[in-house]
Amino acid sequence: MALRANISGISRIVLVAVGIITASINQSLAIEPIPTRTELCGKLQLQTQHAISEHAEAKRAAKAKALQKQATQFCAANKQAQGIRAYAQALKLLGVQPITE
């Protein structure tokens, strides 16, 4: 009888522990949705505008501004992948790490 009570108590503890672990795993796996290409175009456009204004006197600012214009046109023409690449190139010319989220 004592053995049965010990097993019952241990199984309750295990169930509670599994519940706690499952809850914490679910919270840690709460992943933010991946932004769409259209959203990424908008975020990169803002980042590029800010970077160009911050690095306006950089040697490559003119090239970055040309790439920004090209990227804006790509994004507006539903060619977001090309626009994102152009924004990333413009930012890299200015020494800025493009956002990826």
Residue 88 binned pLDDT confidence (cut-offs 50, 70, 90): very high
Distances (CA, A) of 85 to 28, 32, 62, 64, 90: 31, 23, 17, 12, 9
Q: What is the pLDDT of residue 1?
A: 58
pLDDT digits (tens, 9 = 90+) for 51-64: 999 988 878 889 99
The answer, as to whether pTM is greater than 0.85, is no
pLDDT for 2 beyond 80: no
- Residue boundaries of the structural domains of the chain: 1-31, 37-93
pLDDT digits (tens, 9 = 90+) for 74-83: 999 999 999 9
Residues 6+ apart with CB under 8 A from 29: none
Residue 19 binned pLDDT confidence (cut-offs 50, 70, 90): low
Residues 6+ apart with CB under 8 A from 64: 48, 51, 52, 55, 58, 90, 91, 93, 94
pLDDT for 44 beyond 90: yes
Token pair 């920004």: residue: 68
Q: What is the pLDDT of residue 56?
A: 82
